[in-house]
Amino acid sequence: MSRAPNCEVTIIGAGPYGLSAAAYLRAARVEIRVFGEPMSFWENQMPAGMCLRSNWLASHIAAPSQMLTLDEYCRENGNHVPRPIPLERFVDYGHWYQKRAVPNLEKCPVRSVGIDPCGFKVILENGEEFTSRRVIVAAGISNFATKPAEFDAIPSALASHSSKHNDLRKFKGQNVVVIGAGQSALESAALLKEAGIQVEVIGRQKAINWVGLHPRMHHLGIISKMLYSTRDVGPAGISRLVASPTLFGALPRKLQDRTAYRAIRPAGAGWLQPRVKDVSITLGRKVVSATATASQLRLRLDDGTERLVDHALLATGFRVDISRYSFLSEPLLEQVQTANGYPVLKRGLESSIPGLHFLGKPAAWSFGPLLGFVSGAEFASNELVRSISGKQKLTR
């Protein structure tokens, strides 16, 4: 018989998903250890001055009994949070949530997770080693930043992914091109322009998709309720489907893929429109080559035109590939069934290795695009509790 593990459940990550999972499991009296810098991705890898695209109701970090909502945060602190929600206020809300729900959070990063006869062997950056019956990976998307191959050989001083910056004012005095035409690209361009920095946006799509241009659609009583879920992911109708992850995951794969793309295709929030009206935006164009000169970057587009810029900011998104979670050991990764880099998950967001769960965007292959957003944490946490509490013995 294998010995008992040192710990029941280890949670890796202290963003909205890790914190929410910890709050629910604690309330269900499951013994947990939680690791990570609270809200670090939001604090360090998004630009200061940014606002959330998701609306108020979709930005609560789920907790049992709705005790830790944004409304509660405002009430307790006697303050007002404007809408759209400013990034720094959301980060502060996350820290407030962590102190109340997960006071025993350990900030030390996890260095490695491997398979062990009694579950998993976890090694921390500080050298501590222990065994855990279950591991919940809620480590976010920062490892998955993706950029076009044309920029592979360009030094980061001349071209960098948007998630590498938390203060765009560092580009003061430079001439910047933003690649992409989604929320991150458009909002970065607005922030650069507002800081007096010369900027051009270059995107492949032929037109910008704006969302939220018709707010009255959300105030039509029962009709709005039928069309839109409060989870706020996707357009009318699709929003409702995406809000039921178990149903979504049961659809034929082709339909899932089409619907997921329609729900989260690159788009800008309507409130950004006036802020980018004076930004030069080139659409329907692709960068075909990028060459570093002595101190600048020469870009050639597919219409034959060129740009000589000081920096290219690549707002080109994230592609899930769990092998890029460097803390997952090779032998463990070999046993996780994957599809397109995503782990294939069953109920409880459990992978093909019993006791190994994935939350957040990596769960989107199995449960749809909701899992890439804060508003998917309630589903994820409830699934975990249902599958873990009262069933702590695993069969391998």
Binding residues for ligand FAD, per CB under 6 A? 12-18, 35-37, 40-42, 46, 52-54, 109-110, 138-142, 163, 184, 327, 360, 373-375
What is the Cα–Cα distance from 152 to 41, expressed in whole angstroms?
23
- Residue 260 or 307: the one with the smaller Cβ distance to ligand FAD is 260
The CB-of-391 to ligand FAD minimum distance in angstroms stands at 24
Cα dihedral: 272, 274, 280, 283 (round 10): 60
What is the Cα–Cα distance from 358 to 345, expressed in whole angstroms?
8
Q: Which is nearest to 33 in space by CA: 118, 119, 131?
A: 131
The CB-of-178 to ligand FAD minimum distance in angstroms stands at 13
What is the Cα–Cα distance from 218 to 240, expressed in whole angstroms?
13
The CB-of-221 to ligand FAD minimum distance in angstroms stands at 25
Residue 30 corresponds to which tokens in the numbers above?
């499951």
- Residue 37 or 298: the one with the smaller Cβ distance to ligand FAD is 37
The CB-of-297 to ligand FAD minimum distance in angstroms stands at 23
The CB-of-304 to ligand FAD minimum distance in angstroms stands at 32
- Residue 307 or 353: the one with the smaller Cβ distance to ligand FAD is 353
The CB-of-15 to ligand FAD minimum distance in angstroms stands at 2
Hey, which residues does 12 pair with through a beta bridge? 35, 137
Q: Report the largest interatomic distance among the alpha carbons of the chain, rounded to a whole angstrom.
A: 69
Q: Compute φ and ψ for 202, nearest 5 degrees.
A: -125, 120
- Residue 123 or 236: the one with the smaller Cβ distance to ligand FAD is 123
The residues, ordered by sequence, that sit 6+ positions from 154 with a Cβ below 8 Å of its Cβ are 290, 292, 297, 312
- Residue 142 or 296: the one with the smaller Cβ distance to ligand FAD is 142
Angle 87-101/16-27 helices, nearest 10 degrees?
Answer: 20
- Residue 12 or 241: the one with the smaller Cβ distance to ligand FAD is 12
The CB-of-47 to ligand FAD minimum distance in angstroms stands at 8
User: Mind spelling out the 3-state secondary structure of 59-109?
Assistant: HCCCCHHHCCCHHHHHHHHCCCCCCCCEHHHHHHHHHHHHHHHCCCCECCC
- Residue 141 or 312: the one with the smaller Cβ distance to ligand FAD is 141
Residue 389 corresponds to which tokens in the numbers above?
């509490």
